[in-house]
Chains A and B, each alone.
Chain A
Amino acid sequence: MRRIVAAVGAAALTLGLAACGGGGGTTSSEDTSTAASDHASLVIGELSYPTGFDVNGYSIAHYVQYFNAVFDTLIRQDGDGNLVPGLATEWTYDDARTTLTLTLQDGITFTDGSPFNADAVVANVENFQASSTPDLSNAQYVESVEAVDDTHVAYHLSAPDPMLTTWLTGSFGFMAAPDSFANPDVATNPVGTGPYTLNIDKTVTGSTYVFDKNPDYWDDSYVVYDTLTINYYETQTALLNAIQGNQVDAATFMDVTSMDQVEAAGYTVYTSQLDWMGLLFYDRDGTVDKPLGDVRVRQAINYAIDKQTILDVIQLGHGTVTSQPFGEATAGYQADLDDYYGYDPEKATSLLAEAGYADGFSLDMPNSSALNQDLLSAIQTQLADVGITVTLTDTGANFITDLLGGKFTSSWMQLASANDWQFAQLALVPNATFNMFGTQSPELDALFETMQTGTDEEAAAAAQEVNTYVVENAWFAPFYRIDNFYVGNSSVVVTPAADNASPYLYLIQPAS
């Protein structure tokens, strides 16, 4: 009974304070933020939760903070995307770029007391390779890994991998205690060297993850809170409510329509651009849908879309109109390609007529309840204006499966394009995940070869040529690069990651 009285009292008190403060954006009346100022606790809101902390659950993007809490990575990134030491202090390639040698920190132990050393790295790599982890392709060029001595480990590659060191800042770089691999609860009771340990009693899988500070943490270059809580929210609406109630210090946020509410609640919005959205053509040889085999048709579609209006209405202007698939952070990016295809429905109509489709044709595209229906019907309307009839087929929960299974010749899609080689592997090379119909040309193959094996300068030049090629040949119809948001209240300072949707956990620090 006394507790109930206390609760009512607390509510009244909160109300009173809010009234006195005039509802201003200050957060001083909230327990969480006052506590955060002496680094007692950090509460993060997320829209995803990992399938587990074992190797099969390893993932970055919006999941990365869960893993950063318990695992250190071999290499880290700063906010500009520069690689900085993590568990490895140095890394060097041989001249052929097929052997990468890491120098490891000495004297670090996992939270179960076992030592972190070269053998532990080898065990982690082998565990990764033997798994069905989503990022298994990170290891595709790694033939073997060798413990040179206790603090040196060598990755032997079948071919150069420009992305390898970047992979080591993510899933492929998570270091878990080898002894834990065989534990039956490996997925729910992670053992790493990281700044926190998972508090299993207070954690509710799929809802709330509570982490306690690792008292023996080796790295004092950044602040570790006493407790870290990551709350999972199933819907944007719930997360928005939590933000408006100041229940989280920092959060992923995607809903452009309520940015005003977020800012009014006293949060800072951090923006980065990692992905672009638009239409992807897969059947560029016209094997199934003959019209798509004609470059003029693909160009016509590029001209038919009023990208700026869609950006303004659907994204409320939070993005940058573009015609190129390479992101601004890549070497392949060329500013003048952004407006290569302007909005010109007449040109679209005449290109279609030239290609022999004056009477139009129809295209079947996949739909899913997870997609923005307003956006899809905008696409339908604008393509209908130039005579192309788009029918939408619902794919239920199998949107990606059906796409990758080659059931559709084109689709709306959002792709990450923050790294040249990563993007090439995702969407351009003949066996790329999103090159389902295997479009290929000798000219491009040579460029890809250079991107993979050449020096940084050679690779950059090749990437630019690739970019120009796919834009001119209208492999895609990009609409815009979208702003990626992360929000934080006044108790934290967030540095957005250069190539990841959520900031790495060590990039969220208390406001001084």
Chain B
Amino acid sequence: MLSFLVRRLLSGIAMLAVISTLAYLLMFMTGTDIARNLLGQNASEEAVAARAAQLGLDQPLLTRYVDWVSGALHGDLGTSWFSSVPVTELVGQRLGVTLSLVFLSTFFAALVAVIVGVIAAVHRGWIDRGLQVGSIVGAAIPNYLVALVLVIVLAIQLKWFEPTGYTRPQDSISGWLMSITLPVLALVVTTVAGVAQQVRGSLIDALRQDYVRTLRSRGLPEWRVVLLHALRNAAGPALSVLALLFVGLLGGAVIIEQLFAIPGAGSLAISSTSQGDIPVVMGLVVAIAVIVLVVNLVIDILQGWFNPKVRIS
């Protein structure tokens, strides 16, 4: 198990290196005139040229990349060109918000998906059909439309929630819960059916296994067969789905954060990508890659817990 984890960790680090290099090259190739974007349409050419020099944009690509890598290795991801804030601080500030959003959504999506998936797998019938329809429609209806409907109905009409904004948990736990409910709901609503569909699939696979019949032949109550034995064996595939769900929600948060004016990494990603704020984009790429890496590692460890074969080897 340990060597397995070490192997995963090493491959993750290699992955990080590849992703960050690719991202850097991509961002460089965009040819976005960052200095002009920073200064706006009324600025003179002199001011733009001065700013470009100040940001080191006149340096060759290799020099800049080497500088970035050596800085990154020392934990210094540079300073945002657009907001003059150190990238580690900016990304750190934003990432916590996104993570709380994504973790909560993952948790609730997984919870509801398991419940619905189990019911569909055991009872089939209309719940099952409904789930299949729901999963595809959920994937196809853009989450911003769902979010907008939620805002209009629950926040603007009924005034149960604030339509926009984010309260930090350290400022007020209840305020935080109120501010995060709608975004989480919007994310969960659009993803839960798809995940439930996956849970259903792997549970049905598990229920088709021979040992399920044998367990039943031993007279175990059905709930024990389904919820303990079959579900635990379905956990392996379902956990992989969870990892994908997490990454998917991370992407989904991009739009949702923008709509709810939540200061998360997603809205930072959109603005810094379109502004060409390379230090921030790089910081985000590295941070997201690290998080995905960690989440996958945790999933691997959980896999081992659920699947004794992995644990031994």
Contacts and interface: CB of A to CB of B under 8 A. Distances in A.
Say if the two chains contact directly (CB < 8 Å). yes
Contacts of B275: 397
Does more than half of chain B's interface fall in helix, strand or loop, or is it mixed?
helix
A187 B86 CA distance: 11
Contact of A426 (B35, B42, B90, B151): B42
Nearest to B85: A205
Nearest to A241: B163
Given A238-B259, A398-B31, A247 B42 contact: no
A134 interface: yes
Interface string A231-270: 1111101110110110100000000000000000000000
Nearest to B55: A132
A206 B268 contact: yes
B229 to A, nearest CB: 35
Interface string B159-196: 11111111000001111011000000000000000000
B10 interface: no
A10 B83 CA distance: 36
Contact of A234 (B41, B48, B162, B258): B258
Interface stretch (A51-59, A340-348, A445-453, A478-486): A51-59
A204 interface: yes
A363 interface: no
B192 to A, nearest CB: 23
B291 interface: no
Given A133-B47, A241-B163, A242-B261, A234 B267 contact: yes
Nearest to B31: A398
Range for the number of chain A residues in contact with chain B:
35 or more
B178 A11 contact: yes
A134 B164 contact: no
Given A133-B47, A233-B164, A205 B93 contact: yes
B6 to A, nearest CB: 38
A396 interface: yes
Contacts of A54: 84
B172 A136 contact: no
A366 to B, nearest CB: 13
Interface string B39-68: 111111111101101100000000000000
Nearest to B262: A207
Most buried by B among A3, A132, A404: A132
Contact of B42 (A14, A187, A237, A433): A433
B155 interface: yes
B163 A247 contact: yes
Contacts of A7: 174-175, 177-178
A18 B31 contact: no
A401 interface: yes
B38 interface: yes
A6 interface: yes
Given A137-B44, A241-B151, A18 B159 contact: yes
A98 to B, nearest CB: 21
A245 B31 contact: no
Nearest to B81: A51
Given A241-B155, A245-B156, A433-B44, A204 B263 contact: yes
B36 interface: yes
A135 interface: yes
B14 interface: no
Most buried by B among A11, A18, A49, A206: A206
A397 B37 contact: yes
Contacts, number: 163
A247 B84 contact: no
B173 A3 contact: yes
Interface string A393-434: 000111011001000000000001000000000100000010
Contacts of B83: 49, 51-52, 187, 205-206
A233 B51 CA distance: 26
Contacts of A397: 30, 32-33, 37, 274-276
A214 to B, nearest CB: 23
A6 B42 CA distance: 50
B271 interface: yes
Contacts of B31: 398
Nearest to B148: A237
Contacts of A140: 44
B22 to A, nearest CB: 20
A248 to B, nearest CB: 9
Interface in B257-312: 258-261, 263, 267-268, 270-271, 274-276
B158 interface: yes
A238 B151 CA distance: 10
A4 interface: yes
Nearest to A405: B33
A54 B90 CA distance: 17
Contacts of A207: 166, 261, 263, 267
B44 A136 contact: yes
Given A4-B177, A51-B82, A247-B164, A135 B259 contact: no
Contact of B32 (A231, A234, A396): A396
Contacts of B42: 134-135, 137, 416, 426, 433
A49 B46 CA distance: 23
B263 A398 contact: no
Contacts of B159: 14-15, 18, 245
A132 B37 contact: no
A454 B100 CA distance: 63
Contacts of B54: 56, 132
20 contacts: A3-B174, A7-B175, A11-B161, A14-B160, A56-B51, A56-B54, A132-B50, A135-B43, A137-B42, A205-B93, A206-B271, A207-B263, A208-B263, A231-B164, A238-B164, A238-B261, A242-B261, A245-B155, A245-B164, A397-B33
**Shortest Cβ-Cβ A-B pairs, 10 listed:** A7-B174, A207-B263, A187-B84, A52-B84, A132-B50, A401-B33, A241-B163, A245-B163, A132-B51, A134-B39
Given A234-B267, A237-B148, A238-B258, 17 more contacts: A7-B175, A7-B177, A132-B53, A134-B43, A135-B42, A188-B84, A206-B271, A241-B156, A242-B261, A245-B164, A247-B163, A397-B32, A400-B37, A401-B33, A401-B37, A404-B36, A404-B45
